[in-house]
Amino acid sequence: FIHQLGVPKKFTLVDVYGLDPDLLAVVPRPVYALILLFPYNDK
């Protein structure tokens, strides 16, 4: 999907299951950005 938006194919999205060192160790390098998704409610 991101490539259809014009992002070069050398960039990919991967799931990060946590921010502790053991879980970050399995994330491919180099990392250029981190997108955080979480629920938001106005109430």
Amino acid at position 20, single letter? D
* Domain housing 30: 1-43
Q: So what's the pLDDT on residue 38?
A: 87
What's the pTM? 0.64
The tally of domains found in the chain comes to 1
| pLDDT digits 0-9 by tens, 1-43 | 889 999 999 999 999 999 999 999 999 999 999 998 888 898 7
CA–CA dist 29, 43 (Å, integer) = 38
Q: So what's the pLDDT on residue 43?
A: 79
- Residue 1 vs residues 12, 26, 42: alpha-carbon distances, Å: 10, 23, 29
